[in-house]
Structure 1
């Protein structure tokens, strides 16, 4: 059996400033219920869908796009002639928005622009009055280049994915299209909401001001003309039957109201937060709740509960959980004082209060109010940070463990010396010599698996010519040669194959990178006579 149900579609109304969007939101809310349509919101696209998409079928918002449209939703929007929209925004900012510190910079910016015929463009208002449409819709395609033709094309591509793109100058057609989409009777006209006060028409402003607005909105004007061309090329709107008298197929859905329980036994007289409604994290919150008992209560339980702005239960406590007992209270007026420490994330909160009577093994509710007080928690910010949580933070830099130091030896201030250099060797003889390596630098000499530092040597001939360049390799001790240290070890040396008088030069090499004497290592030179083993060369 069919029944009337709340609207169950998924629609995002991309409300562009000063295009009559608040009237659209008001109409849809009145027709479908406040539980179906969000209030007029502001925020990033993805955050709006995540925060409200599961609660409201229709999201109405001034949107900052941070990526592509969500294919699960139908998107609708309304454009207005760019020059007319900018003029409306300027006079709205100057004459209509409240004269408060929050809006003062916008009011001053609009006033400076108008009084200077557009010569003064404050940074606070530039994004609202210069190519607002193109910059807005190009973000859907993540188009950030300053190539103007490309940016307009990106904005047009984004608009082509919208279910409905209406024109403020043909407002009634937009209403009809939206009515069809949500299966509502066509309202024909709707009440104006939040209009701009005391604004001239475009033809009434000075030529200089109009030319300046046109100059700042070249891209928006091109985009708007393209959209108007779409509407014309699609042909005139087909005649449609009059459905203004047809009843809506949807049941009006209102959001779930705050929980309230009342009984004749108790009356809440007042509930108030002491002091200001804005507190800082860690401050004391004190709530005074005055109430009247109309009869004696054998065992009274009193509680407080705190909800965040998303209606999540942030905290709750009652007298029983605090091991308090309030018994045999006679008829009369009382004040209960709740003390809480505001150890809460920054945000908006509500506090409500509950009263019940313990009866045997059960509890009988006497009064419950979800929300009687409102307050905000701010955090004291000593330094800027990103995100919604202000965490204590510190950044420390420390050298890595020795085994993880940079493997590349960039300079080699130090020396290599043999403890007991040989005087004579037999050709091809293999000996092990004690060596002392001294590191006068601040970096360990060790290398790594691909470019280790090793001991080696060169053999020079009697005239200083190179006889053997790449000597035998010997590993360093475990841990290498620490900074500012000297280590004792041994190295392998093989005598040249040809007898003669030679110079032995012990050194260090970093495999694959180079010889350390080339970057500062001091080397010693030792004269060695190489024989065949059966004769001695004359001295």
Structure 2
């Protein structure tokens, strides 16, 4: 366990959708009072981001945890030292989970249209309204791209890799228990039994997918697949040498880095 002086002043939990983030988020919530937590609301992220950016320095000093889907760039508006914490998921499993989740949730804005057309996974992959869900979503969010119409390019991928390597403590959904223990030890969080939250029942399994559909998921997630491979390497390195991980991360930002002008969070 690390000395208290090595702990980040602010944890930025970048919750990538369908990565078991809600279950993990509850662990962070247990360690802080409500007044120390800032939530970027998923239904109105723009208003939340503007609210965070408008906080006074005094108010920012009280924040210990900032959490949300659209979060990259928040470190410019919190106290240093900060650390991003995130979970990545196998891209194929994430797409299957997202499809199953949306079609099982009546309150989702795409639910009715999906059911009215009896939409298959194959159709879902090419549907214009679902592209942010099915194409390199993890890469975009880690790069700071929240605009659903922006394409994922090589430059976006490079930004995501840089952010992951320099700023993030990363866990993997496929190794949830190990990730949780790692976070607890490095961040000095109290151990907690984590209930499974937001679990999608009757989810499609990879073994049920036709080869051509599986190939299409791979084609649309080339950057996410490459990013996940990077995350696996970082995860293994952290497990092998957890005591030095914080010393390798950039935990302060006195000025905006070269990618700031491309970050949607900054532009809002």
What TM-score, normalized by structure 2, do the two folds share?
A: 0.69
Residue 184 of structure 1 pairs with residue 189 of structure 2: yes
Give the C-alpha shift of residue 19 in structure 1.
Answer: 0.7
User: Hey, what's the Cα distance between the residues in 2 that align with 1:126 and 1:145?
Assistant: 10
Distance 1:121 1:110, change over 3 A: farther
Q: Which residue of 2 aligns with 1:209?
A: 213
Q: Which residue of 2 aligns with 1:94?
A: 103
Query: Does structure 1 conserve the Cα–Cα contact (< 8 Å) formed by 2:170 and 2:235?
Result: no
Residue 50 of structure 1 pairs with residue 57 of structure 2: no
Q: How many residues align?
A: 225
Give the C-alpha shift of residue 111 in structure 1.
Answer: 8.0
User: Hey, what's the Cα distance between the residues in 1 that align with 2:74 and 2:8?
Assistant: 23
Distance 1:203 1:37, change over 3 A: farther
Query: Does structure 1 conserve the Cα–Cα contact (< 8 Å) formed by 2:143 and 2:157?
Result: yes
Query: Does structure 1 conserve the Cα–Cα contact (< 8 Å) formed by 2:12 and 2:75?
Result: no
Q: Which residue of 1 aligns with 2:68?
A: 61
Distance 1:78 1:236, change over 3 A: closer
Give 3-state SS (helix, strand or coil) of 2:34's partner. coil
Answer 1 or 2: which has greater helix percent. 2
User: Hey, what's the Cα distance between the residues in 2 that align with 1:205 and 1:165?
Assistant: 29
Residue 84 of structure 1 pairs with residue 87 of structure 2: no
Matches within 5 A, 1:50-449: 50=53, 54=60, 56-63=63-70, 65=72, 67=73, 69-70=75-76, 72=80, 73-95=82-104, 97=105, 99-100=106-107, 103-106=108-111, 108-109=113-114, 115=120, 117-118=122-123, 121-139=126-144, 148-187=153-192, 189-232=193-236, 234=237, 236-237=239-240
User: Hey, what's the Cα distance between the residues in 2 that align with 1:182 and 1:235?
Assistant: 13
Query: Does structure 1 conserve the Cα–Cα contact (< 8 Å) formed by 2:19 and 2:94?
Result: yes
Matches within 5 A, 1:454-473: none
Gaps of 5+ in 2: 1-6, 244-268
Gaps of 5+ in 1: 1-6, 241-539
Distance 1:145 1:18, change over 3 A: closer
Q: Which residue of 2 aligns with 1:350?
A: none
User: Hey, what's the Cα distance between the residues in 2 that align with 1:114 and 1:216?
Assistant: 18
Give 3-state SS (helix, strand or coil) of 1:228's partner. helix
Distance 1:127 1:18, change over 3 A: same
User: Hey, what's the Cα distance between the residues in 2 that align with 1:124 and 1:177?
Assistant: 37
User: Hey, what's the Cα distance between the residues in 2 that align with 1:74 and 1:124?
Assistant: 33
What TM-score, normalized by structure 1, do the two folds share?
A: 0.37
User: Hey, what's the Cα distance between the residues in 1 that align with 2:181 and 2:101?
Assistant: 28
CA deviation vs aligned residue, 1:144-202 (integer Å, no higher than 9, x gap): 99684333222101112324111111212321232234422333x51111111210322
User: Hey, what's the Cα distance between the residues in 1 that align with 2:118 and 2:211?
Assistant: 14
User: Hey, what's the Cα distance between the residues in 1 that align with 2:179 and 2:234?
Assistant: 14
Give 3-state SS (helix, strand or coil) of 1:197's partner. coil
Q: Which has the higher contact order (CA 8 A, sep 6+)?
A: 2
Give the C-alpha shift of residue 32 in structure 1.
Answer: 3.0
Distance 1:171 1:56, change over 3 A: same
Distance 1:158 1:111, change over 3 A: farther
Distance 1:218 1:31, change over 3 A: same
Q: Which residue of 2 aligns with 1:20?
A: 20
Give the C-alpha shift of residue 37 in structure 1.
Answer: 3.2
User: Hey, what's the Cα distance between the residues in 1 that align with 2:69 and 2:150?
Assistant: 23
User: Hey, what's the Cα distance between the residues in 2 that align with 1:111 and 1:16?
Assistant: 28
User: Hey, what's the Cα distance between the residues in 2 that align with 1:77 and 1:137?
Assistant: 9
Give the C-alpha shift of residue 206 in structure 1.
Answer: 2.5
Distance 1:223 1:175, change over 3 A: same
Distance 1:138 1:46, change over 3 A: same
Distance 1:62 1:204, change over 3 A: same
Larger radius of gyration: 1
Distance 1:146 1:19, change over 3 A: closer
Give 3-state SS (helix, strand or coil) of 1:59's partner. strand
Query: Does structure 1 conserve the Cα–Cα contact (< 8 Å) formed by 2:102 and 2:110?
Result: no
Give the C-alpha shift of residue 68 in structure 1.
Answer: 7.6
Q: Which residue of 1 aligns with 2:252?
A: none
Give the C-alpha shift of residue 215 in structure 1.
Answer: 1.8
